[in-house]
Structure 1
Amino acid sequence: MRLQEARFVVVDTETTGLPPEGRVVELALVEVGLEREPQIVYSALVDPGCPIPPEASAVHHITDRDVAGKPRLFQVWPKVLEYIGDAILVAHNAEFDRGMLPETGRPWICSKRLAQHLWRDAPKHSNQVLRYWLGIDVEVGQPHRALGDAIVTAHVFQRELRAYLEAGYPDDVDDLIAFAESPIEVQTMPFGKHKGMPLKDVPLDYLDWALRNLQDLSPDLRWSMQRVLEQGLGWPGRAI
């Protein structure tokens, strides 16, 4: 399917914490397309069924009083699925929002990963930093609320669609999803005694040790380290 023909719905959640223990306290959906300006589809507070920790309230300013008497997520979910329909879902850090919600049966695109691929010179890749870096002029009210963040992400995503096509990538939804999910090259070492050093300058024996012994490396970092090793050693799979 061509990008102009696709229907995209941006999803954003506010929660009591991180998955799997965290629970949704607010959910918003905003529809957007290549030539379709963002339109609010759905926005609601949700009773998480547990107290909201003060640390979470300090971020989104949603309290137990705000969600008292609101429906539970399972009660609104059938209606949310109707709104989603045949859309491709978009979220800024899609792994988080997808992990907070029941299965939708629809494909997801991470707009943060798209930004990291398309705009490597951006100062950061959060949706609010990209909002100002791209000069997006939109009123969204209070940040760190689901609807405001979803509106910002929708505008950022629309810019990403245009930048993706302008860069000459295939005009196809499946190709866009594959592009977003493809590895992102890590430029600097993020931890250890070589933290901050360009990854290409880190001793190969240290990279080899890390790949063999550290299980919690992100897929992007593992791919980038393996790539440096392969280039340094001349062929893949050779041990030091």
Structure 2
Amino acid sequence: MTELFPPAPKARSLFDEPGSTLVRIIDTETAGQKLEEDAVIEIGSVDLDLKTGAIFNPMQTFCDPAGVEISAGARKVHQISNEMLVGAPTFAEAVVPFSTGTFAAQRADFDRSRLRLTGRWLCTYKLALRAFPDVKAHGLQSLVKYVPLDLSGVSALLSGLHPHRALFDAVCTAVLMRRIAETLMPRCQDLDDFLERAETVSNEPALLARLRFGRHRGIPIRQVPSDYLEWLVAEPQMSADAVFTAKRALATRQMRGERVLPGAERKTGEP
């Protein structure tokens, strides 16, 4: 576990608030367009006290998409209609109450890029990969099912909602963040140390538990042959997550003096 959640550099975060135990767990639903053309149409959040585990202060608001069309794919997922957005505040007005020092989101890169809120951001997806590397899948609802996460204590907050609505997903993510902290905190000196490590992990590419493509798709990284991992690192078009994961796996094997795992012969350029 130490190598999955290593100590953070001594330099503290620009957004560090020593002694603060509160994290705002936040989720957004959007029009489903490319980043530069997208519009936030719903924001939901709850606060998590990492010291006590309490989840409280639910907030939810719709946002006027300002003429941006909601894609059919996005509407099918979150089921937010144009009628539901009538009279909603502008995004600039709606986002103000959500501002705080520390945020966490299941795919923090997505939410952070659209909300543009300044502060420390933690990514529960990347952290879950470190805390629960052997879980079958690391999407939010997959983690609820496979960790598993007990939602009984937040049933009142979830009442009347469904997955892929902002508040529902924020509440589930809060339970996930609480479980991540319970799993990883014992490796840390204190809460501040945990937050520093968590922020470092959240700012790195994802350390994948399994590859999502190619002949070794779905196989745990520890079982993927080293020559295949070397090929991943050398491929110019490979995703940052895959390259980061391959480099870490190779470095770990070298550090441990492990035997190079042989790989099956493959054609040049074949994943």
Same fold by TM-score greater than 0.5? yes
The list of structure 1 runs, each at least 4 consecutive aligned residues, that deviate by more than 6 angstroms after superposition, is 1-4
State whether structure 2 residue 184 is matched by structure 1 residue 164. Answer: yes
Aligned to 1:153: 173
Alpha-carbon distance, 1:182 to partner: 5.2
Q: Which amino acid aligns with 2:63?
A: V
Aligned to 1:91: 105
Alpha-carbon distance, 1:190 to partner: 3.2
Structure 1 residue corresponding to 2:246, chosen from 197, 204, 225:
225
Query: Would the aligned equivalents of 1:19 and 1:96 in 2 still touch at CA under 8 Å?
Result: no
Cα deviation 1:97-152 (Å, max 9, x = unaligned): 111112x2201001111111111232322222323412331321222100111111
Query: Would the aligned equivalents of 2:62 and 2:94 in 1 still touch at CA under 8 Å?
Result: no
Q: Given the superposition, is the C-alpha separation of residues 193 and 214 from structure 1 closer, same or farther in structure 2, using an over 3 Å criterion? A: farther
Alpha carbon RMSD of aligned pairs, Å? Answer: 2.8
Structure 2 distance, partners of 1:148, 1:201, is 36
Aligned to 1:110: 123
Alignment coverage as a number of residue pairs: 226
Q: TM-score, normalised by structure 1?
A: 0.80
Query: Would the aligned equivalents of 1:15 and 1:56 in 2 still touch at CA under 8 Å?
Result: yes
Q: Given the superposition, is the C-alpha separation of residues 201 and 56 from structure 1 closer, same or farther in structure 2, using an over 3 Å criterion? A: closer
Query: Would the aligned equivalents of 2:232 and 2:238 in 1 still touch at CA under 8 Å?
Result: no
Q: Which amino acid aligns with 1:73?
A: F
Aligned to 1:11: 26
Aligned to 1:38: 55
Q: How does 1:45-64 map to 2 (within 5 A)?
A: 45-49=62-66, 50-64=68-82
Q: TM-score, normalised by structure 2?
A: 0.72
Aligned to 2:132: 119
Query: Would the aligned equivalents of 1:28 and 1:146 in 2 still touch at CA under 8 Å?
Result: yes
Runs of 5+ consecutive residues of structure 2 not aligned to the other structure? 1-15, 258-271
State whether structure 2 residue 192 is matched by structure 1 residue 175. Answer: no
Structure 2 distance, partners of 1:149, 1:187, is 23
Q: Given the superposition, is the C-alpha separation of residues 215 and 106 from structure 1 closer, same or farther in structure 2, using an over 3 Å criterion? A: same
Structure 2 distance, partners of 1:118, 1:14, is 26
Q: Given the superposition, is the C-alpha separation of residues 228 and 155 from structure 1 closer, same or farther in structure 2, using an over 3 Å criterion? A: closer
Alpha-carbon distance, 1:162 to partner: 1.8
Structure 1 distance, partners of 2:90, 2:84, is 13
Runs of 5+ consecutive residues of structure 1 not aligned to the other structure? 235-240
Query: Would the aligned equivalents of 2:216 and 2:224 in 1 still touch at CA under 8 Å?
Result: no
